[in-house]
Each structure stands twice: as structure tokens, then as C-alpha cells.
Structure 1
């Protein structure tokens, strides 16, 4: 893998996108869906979409370097590439494609979560993209770790529920499944979409909301989703025990690769 150029816009400015993909039992999870989302993000950033065959090739190379683990977190990066100094984009983009793979251990158990002080900027287009710039999420996760928790609940600029530092958030009230809308500053996660489809297929009422206040989580079952952990129940939030609901395990059995 060639070194990153000092003037690479992904390195210098966070100008680019990435996807985190679960490699499980020698197969990439939701491969086409990840690449579809990457292509949509490219349109927003004015970048050409990467060639799909090239994406698979660079992932295969990364897996070889990692000794082809049974389960791995694969990260596919698409940087805007070299450019002039400053913010202005180059006359012609020459994006750089790269990938890495890291062995994953057993599936994590229930999560502990705290509400972060760091906010999600719902007014930024970047809040709905998986960009190379994740500093707010990094800071929020750092807050959680300092408090002895696994994950951070992030509110948006209006103080409403947005997401976790590295996951989408769901909660259940009177049998209805709730999750924040993209307009709340939410990345439309791959597993988020899987859960919504599974819930609707099984007759569960779903509400996608823009302005949920954090108080709604005080007595509600809560769970998280991302591509690496699937559905992950939250056991404690801000020091309080989170109630268990059978719907969480039911959805996990429907969408988690290890439980199918």
C-alpha cells in the first residue's frame, strides 16, 4: 500500500468517504448496499464513484494482509486525492482508493451508554454522509470511554436524539419501534434499514421521528445498530438500567448474521 501524500484531501481535510463492512464466513455483508451508499455520497461531494471491481480487489488485498480472518471489520476508503493547498477543490479530482481489514472477536454483549456533551450537527450535509471526518464522533466516544461506558448517545444541535457515536439508535414505547429521521442529523445506516424492513414485515409499528427529546429514553428499551454488531441491546444508559423487551431479541434474530 503506497503512503498517503501530504496534500491528499482526505488526509488534510477529511474530504472523502468510507464504508465499514462486516466480513463474515468469507463473504462481505451487504456489499452492494454499501457501495450504493458510497456512490450516493460521492454525488453530494462532487466526486466520481469508485469502480466496483477495484473496490473488491483492494478489499481482497487487505484481507490477504490480515491472513483472511473468519470475521473481520473491513474499511473501504475513498479519498478526494491530491489537490492544491486550501479548501478549493482541484480542477480535476484524482481520488485514491484504499482498504484495511482487522480481525473481529466474538460478538459484543449488551452495551452501556452515556449521553455525550458533544453534539451532532444536524444542519450540516455531512451529518448524513459517512465522511472521512468523524472528529465529533471521536470526541463523543472519548467522553463515553472516560465515563466507563461503551458508547455515546449524541443529541443534535436542537437537543434532540440523533444517534450514537458509531451506531443508529432505536427505542420501544408501547410496542412501537422508534428511530430518529435523517433530518435529525442521522446517517442512514445499512443495519438501520434492515431493522426497519424486518420490523415492518413482522407487523411492528414503526415511527421515524425528527424531534424526540432524550427524556423519552428514561423508561424505554433501547438498542443500537451498525454493520459490525448488528442489533445490540443497551443495558445501561446514563447509569440507569434499561428495560429488556422481547422485540429486541426478535429483531436481532432476523438481521444479525450470527443468529440467522
Structure 2
């Protein structure tokens, strides 16, 4: 449990600060950033697999149709999520991305209850309802259906569910996810380069170096998230995710200077109250289970 919480916090803190990173490439189209992100992610995980001497195990990591489908779905869901996030950050919608990731834990919990048959206590349901009310206030504030936020929430919840169901080795599973989408990203980069529409060459040298490091910036949080998903219930992993949107929200307000209204502040307060209640109830439940197991 402790390891799972640590991995989860590391992953979500990293994702929370990612808007700062992607703003460095604001002059690049989102598709081009995504393609580079995929290519350099594969390079980074390939280095990790080589260091661990695990290339021989790669094929056996997806031994059946279920695992192959799960990897394909993981690749699709996370790629869609990456594109939407990059586009939103570089087009002044960081608060909406935070709304999406506030919604995501609620959807993750629903998926966990429906598909994985996880059970929640009364206190946990109260927390979920409070958080849902906070998210509803945020959604009403926009006056329209926040499609970016909803798409981010659903795509990442589906990614987490697919990871949980697949139960693949963390490193090898992540390697397969990047392998699946690598050919598309690589061909796209070759195409825009040959067409003369690539923008990477116009970046200053330090930005190019940082773009190459996007593989590490992408793969490490995914690696930590995958570890957390294996060690913790999906419902708990989903709720810890509130760290990421909170960090992004603070960046949006104090660094990017996006407008933050009074209704949004009220919603923010409801969500943090829900987080405190859920964390307290979950901690007590986990501690009681541990005492029972020790007694048995």
C-alpha cells in the first residue's frame, strides 16, 4: 500500500506540472508534439529494457488475445489523452484540463465498481458525491458542455481500466504501448519533414534538447502510474489523481493567469473536502483490514 501511494503521488505530481513543460513548445502544432513524444518515449523505454536485459521477455509479455487487445486499447486511449492535453495547454485551456482530471477519479470509481466489482463504504460514497457536486459546479460555470474536460476524463479512466484488466508487467507493458503507436508517429514526422511543414527545426537548441527528453517526461510518470495501478485498488488510484488537477489549476491561476471565478473556488473547496473525507475513510478501512489479516 505504501509503495503504491508513493508511485501514485509521483505520477500525478509529474502530470500536474506538465503544463509548464508543454508551454515551452507552444509554437509547435499539437500533432507534431505528440508524434515526438511517442517517438522519444519508445527510445527511453528501450534504454530501460536494455538496461534490465529484458528484450527476450517482450514477446511473452502479451501471450494471449486479451493482453494484445488490452495493449492496443491502452495505446489508443493514452495517445488521445496526450493529444487533447497538449492542445488544451497550448491554447489557454489549462483550467479546463484540471476540470477534466477532477472528473476522471469519479469516472474511474464508476468503472471500478461496474467492471472490477470493487466495493466502497458509505463514507467513500459520501466523498464521491461531494466531489461530484464540486465538478458539477465547475461544469455549470462554463455554460456549455466542456468536451475537452470530458474527453480527458474518459480517455484516462479507460486507460487505467485497461491497464488494471491487462495486468501486464509494468516495464514491458509500457514498452508495448509505445511500440504500437510508434510507426504512426514516425511516419507522420517523416511526412511533415518531407513536406517542409515541420516546425522542430525552428526551435532554439535548448528547446530541441528538452523535446528529446519528452520521452523521459512521458514514460516515467506512466511507469509510476502502472506500478500504482498494480499495487492499489483502481478506486484509490483514481482519487489520488486529484493531486494532478490541483497542481495544474494553481499553475493556471498563478503562472498562466487564466481567470478563476468565485463559483470555481467554491467547487474547488467541495472537491478538497471530498478528498479529505475519502482519504480518511480509505485509510481507516485499509488499517482495519490489515489488523484483521494479522489476527488471522
Identify the TM-score tier after normalising by the shorter chain. Answer: under 0.3
Which structure exhibits the higher relative contact order, with contacts defined as CA atoms closer than 8 Å and separated by 6 or more residues?
Answer: 2
TM-score by length of 1: 0.23
Instruction: Report the TM-score when normalising by structure 2.
Output: 0.21
Q: Larger strand proportion, structure 1 or 2? A: 1
